Chains A and B, each alone.
Chain A
Amino acid sequence: MRDIVRRAALRVALAASGVICICSCAGNGEGLDENGRPTGGSSTQLTPTLASIQDNVFTPICTQCHAGAAAPLGFRLDESSAYAMLVNAPSVEAPSLVRVQPGNPDSSYLIQKLEGTAAVGGQMPLGQPPLPPATIAVIRQWIANGALQQMTAPGVVPMQIHAIVPAEQAALVPERGEVLLQAEGELNVASVSSATVTLMRSGGDGGFTEGNEVAVQPIRIEVRSLTPTVLAIRPADGSWVADRYRLTISGQGAARMMDHEGMQVGDFSVEFTVAGAP
């Protein structure tokens, strides 16, 4: 009886292995780009621009792990997050370094991780062959050139600003407390000030209609990139009070934020919670 069961199990296992071998053929890639996404079939050569690096390195290689909810250390390199997560953003593994320091590839943690010289952790991409030196050289060149963001063409629609940290309805961690925003294009630095950026807290009730709201002043607004597209905002003294917050950027009125061509940006607002702040 035992032999019968054993033989039956062996047959099942062999059959299963046969099925998986037959069924598990790789795709032929027809109609897909190099990232496996449907496209017209165009292929771009790697050049020292963020868009090119995104298409040739970040998306096909890095986002196998560094994307979405499961991104290691919360570090995402998908197209919508990469720039804000990289440029002048402190590394989690080595907080004294920023991931990309515009103009300085040697001091950029991204390069150290790709070249395997970082003080913490393994060389990236983990478990895969290292990037060819020529590829890393292109990324170095992008950083040396100022780590510029690919600009979208200006149109009649006002330039939009997006919250990278915290995401909509998300909480902010007091210890690493800063709001990270990214504009779709270059901002007029002169219009980036506490006159156009307003940070309010609810006054403890979580709402913003009761009249007990508190304006957080002064605030520190840091332009994080050589081309002014990323803003990091926090209370000037760095201390957050546990409460519900609303950050607003005005693109209208006398005090309005403008893009580099003097056009108003779209109104922006994000609410978030700071819990457990001292």
Chain B
Amino acid sequence: MIVRLALLAALVLVSSLARAEPYLAVQQGLKCGACHVNPTGGGMRNTFGEIWGQTQLPAKRIDTGDPWTGEISRFLAIGGNFRASATATDVPHEDRTNSFDTDEMRVYLDFRAIPDRLSVYVDQQLAPGGSENREAYGRLWFDNQRFYVKAGQMFLPYGLRLQDDTAFIRQVPGINFTTPDHGVEAGLELANWSAQLAVSNGTGGGAEVDPGKQYSLRVEHIQSVWRLGASFNFNDAAAGKRQMQNVFAGVRTGPIAWLGEVDYILDDSFEPRRKQAIGLLEANWLIMKGNNLKLTAEYFDPDREVAEDQQTRYSLVWEYTPLQFVQLRVGYRNYDGIPQNDLQNRRVVFAQINGYF
């Protein structure tokens, strides 16, 4: 109890912090691992993240006594995310479609065989469709939690880990929340530095089919107001070698948290080799507690050698967190691409509910 009170007091002093988006880390000047069990962010929240998500993120907190921390015991913690949405899509020359969707129901489990030292982590997607494992790995910390090693199935470290897998910087590189890979990852966590190196099969979670491996390196320097990082990924695959690199950054200017990333990809799985470029700029305006307005501009050039094939996407999303554990998102996305491809010119309006615990 004393520990919890101390933690709550610390949280109040630290001001606000939140859920699982990189902009929240930029807003608060913290590393992803401050709120997540996983040092590279995403997935299960740690005790700090859980309490912050209940006390500082929502516009209002309903007092339920002791906050939920996810900890069943010293050795076991659980968490989860649920997302459901209503979406209207306008594709040129086609009838508008409207649908309700269960986007995801995921549960996280962290079995701490030796607390703060050795644990086994599982991220299981239960919906839509049947159960599907996303992450399952063992993690061992060294040297007072400055170094760690993970082994198993995991999401790879690369660039900004946005929640939105349809963003160009998530979809095109193919490193996102739907494509874990089997391998090992070593990480370094210092006060202002975060770095990861992963070696994996490079098959997008499928069985290994060739002797080549995928290498992912991500380095980030974090200050309270800004951060700057770079990633490199090389997949030595029989289907074609692929090299990706990016730089990404975040800066806070008053109530606005900015995110930016630029990627350049060399892909030999196409004949001839394709050079691709991607860009993202996102502004997150904290209007008031529990209300965030997100404006995103994205750019994708699928082949630098081909003129007039570029695509853009602009999004405006309002995120409202009325109470702890519940977030509502209402948004509009405008895709713009070559006129020959209707899908590249669609418009999407959506409302989404996100439950997190």
Contacts and interface: CB of A to CB of B under 8 A. Distances in A.
Interface stretch (A58-66, A141-149, A212-220): A58-66
B171 A70 contact: no
B208 A71 contact: no
Given A69-B269, A72-B178, A35 B341 contact: yes
B308 A167 contact: no
Contacts, number: 212
Residue in A27, A30, A73 with the greatest tally of chain B CB atoms within 10 Å: A27
Contacts of A27: 307-311, 337-338
DSSP class of A's interface residues: helix, strand, loop or mixed?
loop
B97 interface: yes
Given A69-B237, A129-B97, A26 B338 contact: yes
A93 B132 contact: yes
A33 interface: yes
B207 A176 contact: yes
A65 B174 contact: yes
Interface in A39-98: 43, 60-61, 64-65, 67-76, 78, 81, 92-93
Interface stretch (B28-36, B139-147, B252-260): B252-260
Contacts of A126: 165, 178
A172 B209 CA distance: 6
A120 interface: yes
Contacts of A204: none
A138 interface: no
Contacts of A121: 125, 128-130, 132
A121 B132 CA distance: 7
B341 A34 contact: yes
B65 interface: no
Contacts of B258: 13, 17
**B contact face: mostly helix, strand, loop, or mixed:** loop
Given A9-B253, A129-B91, A32 B204 contact: no
Contact of A36 (B103, B225, B338): B338
Given A24-B312, A129-B91, A171 B254 contact: no
Interface size class of A (residues with CB under 8 A): 35 or more
A28 B306 CA distance: 12
B303 interface: yes
Nearest to B305: A38
B66 interface: no
A127 to B, nearest CB: 4
A60 B270 CA distance: 14
Interface stretch (B44-52, B106-114, B239-247): B239-247
A127 B207 contact: no
Contacts of A165: 209
A70 B242 contact: yes
A85 to B, nearest CB: 11
A69 B235 contact: yes
Given A16-B260, A17-B283, A68-B242, A170 B210 contact: yes
B343 A132 contact: no
A16 to B, nearest CB: 6
Given A17-B297, A72-B179, A25 B312 contact: yes
Contact of A119 (B130, B166, B175, B205): B130
Q: Taking each of A24, A121, A127, which has the highest tally of chain B beta carbons within 10 Å of its own beta carbon?
A: A24
B94 interface: yes
A37 B343 CA distance: 16
B253 A127 contact: no
A133 to B, nearest CB: 10
Contacts of B171: 64-65, 127
B287 interface: no
Contact of B281 (A20, A61, A170): A20
Interface string B44-70: 000000000000000000000000000
A35 B253 CA distance: 40
A25 B303 CA distance: 15
Given A17-B281, A32-B338, A70 B311 contact: no
B225 A9 contact: yes
B329 interface: no
11 contacts: A10-B256, A16-B281, A17-B281, A36-B309, A36-B338, A64-B171, A73-B204, A73-B205, A122-B103, A126-B178, A127-B171
Interface of A: 5-6, 9-10, 12-13, 16-17, 20-21, 23-38, 43, 60-61, 64-65, 67-76, 78, 81, 92-93, 116, 118-123, 126-130, 132, 165-173, 175-176, 273
Given A36-B337, A121-B132, 11 more contacts: A9-B225, A17-B281, A32-B306, A68-B239, A68-B240, A69-B235, A69-B239, A69-B241, A69-B269, A121-B128, A132-B94
Interface of B: 87, 89, 91, 94, 97, 99, 103, 125, 128-132, 165-166, 171-175, 178-179, 202-211, 214, 225-226, 235, 237-242, 251, 253-254, 256, 258, 260, 267, 269-270, 279, 281, 283, 297-299, 302-303, 306-312, 336-341, 343-344, 346, 348
**Top 4 A-B pairs ranked by shortest CB distance?**
A68-B269, A74-B206, A29-B338, A70-B174
